Structure 1
Amino acid sequence: MSSLNEVQLTVSQLSSEELAAFRVWFAEFDAAAWDKQIEEDVAAGRLDVLAEKALKHLREGRCTDL
C-alpha cells in the first residue's frame, strides 16, 4: 500500500471483526505516535513556556485541586 487511497479502500473492505481489531491497533499506534511527539517537544523545549506559565499560576494560587 503506497497511498492513502489504497489504505482507505482496504480498510473499507474489512469485515466487522477485522475492523474492530484495526481500531484497537490504530488507537495504540496513534497513542504511541502522540507520546513520541510529546517526548520530542519536551526534549526540544517547545513546552517550556507552557510549563513556566503553569508553575507561575500554581505559585500565585490560581490552581485548585479537583
Structure 2
Amino acid sequence: MSNLQEIETKIKQLPKHEIHQLAQWLNNYVDDLWDQQMEIDLAQGKLDQIIAKAEADILENNTKAIDEILNNA
C-alpha cells in the first residue's frame, strides 16, 4: 500500500481536471465521515447537553439571527 508521500506524488502527476475530480470526491468523503461521526455522537448521547442548552435558549427567546452573528464575527 502506498504511503501519503507516494500518493501526493501521484496526485501531482494527474491532469488538472482529474485533480479537481479527486478534490470533489475527497470533500464528499470527508463530509460523509463528519455525518457518520455526528450520528455516532448523537446516538451515544454526546450531544445531549448541547441540544438541551439550545432548546432552553429557544424557549427563553435567548437567540440571535444568524445574520447578526455572522456580521459581528
* TMscore range, shorter length: 0.7 to 0.9
Measured against aligned partners, the alpha-carbon deviations of 1:17-53 in whole angstroms (never above 9, x if no partner) come to 1101101111111111111011011011111110011
Deviation at 1:64, TM superposition (A): 4.6
1:8 aligns with 2:1: no
State the alpha-carbon separation in 2 of the partners of residues 8 and 62 from structure 1.
48
Count of residue pairs the alignment pairs up: 66
Question: Taking structure 1 as the reference length, what is the TM-score of the superposition?
Answer: 0.84
Question: Taking structure 2 as the reference length, what is the TM-score of the superposition?
Answer: 0.77
Counterpart of 2:51?
51
Give structure 1 regions of 4+ aligned residues with deviation exceeding 4 angstroms.
none
Match of 2:33, SS state, is: helix
Q: 5+ residue gaps in structure 1? A: none
1:34 aligns with 2:34: yes
State the alpha-carbon separation in 1 of the partners of residues 43 and 7 from structure 2.
33
Q: 5+ residue gaps in structure 2? A: 67-73
